[in-house]
Amino acid sequence: MTDEEIQLAVLHELENDPVVKSNEIGVAVQNGIVTLSGDVDSYSKKYDAERAAKQIPDVKAVVNELQVKLSSSGQRTDEDIAKAAVQALESAVVVPSERIKVTVREGRVILEGDVGWGLEKEAAEAAVRVLAGVKEVTNRIDVKPQVKSADVQAKIEEELRRAAELDAHRVQIEIQGHKVILRGSVRCMAEWDEAETAAGRVPGVKEVENRLTIEPYTIEP
């Protein structure tokens, strides 16, 4: 796809997103790198806009320069955000909230602590990302291994097969202690992210090095 075609595809994806208002967001593309700019009124919109851009084949990277500027009704004190974050984590079924510390500074939420699964780390961030008044989320939660490394590869392969958007046969896995290296190819940045997320969900995985390349599939005439 040309840069112009990528730009149009990203704009179309944003128009179809139920959360994002496409007229709030500027989209520029140069050599397959998408830059998002403009102002949005929630952090969840900033996150969803980036995710939408990554869905497009041939997007090599996304530079998210969107600024979260809250409306007067969306303003909340750090204390209110912190209380809401704690409640959200306690309500999230898969999150061990007692192992997670929340810090809020000028609307920016920092999550710290440790969990046994990458999925728990991901779920903790998702729980606070949608809260009113949040401008940014920094996820510093550590994943501490709880199973033998010998089991890790089989579990990663299982997670990759579960990922509906992925062709797991195109992904090769290398285990180095508690570090996973992914090689091979995927069709778009969304699949690139999904492969990394799937590998990170597996207990025992502390770090994922994603060396996957993006190679859109071609259909023979």
Q: Using one digit for the tens of pLDDT, what is the confidence trace for 169-215?
A: 788 888 877 788 889 888 888 888 888 888 887 777 778 899 989 88
Residue with tokens 């501490």: 144
* Domain 149-214 CATH assignment equals 3.30.1340.30: yes
- For residue 188, the model assigns a pLDDT of 85
Task: State the CATH class of domain 3-68.
Answer: alpha beta
Residue ranges in the chain whose pLDDT is less than 50: 219-221
The CATH number of 72-143, from 1.10.10.200, 3.30.300.130, 3.10.150.10, 3.10.20.30, is 3.30.300.130
* Residues whose CB is less than 8 angstroms from the CB of residue 12 and which lie 6 or more positions away in sequence, other chains included: none
- For residue 149, the model assigns a pLDDT of 52
Write out the residue limits of the CATH 3.30.300.130 domain(s) in the chain.
Answer: 72-143
Write out the residue limits of the CATH 3.30.1340.30 domain(s) in the chain.
Answer: 3-68, 149-214
- For residue 197, the model assigns a pLDDT of 85
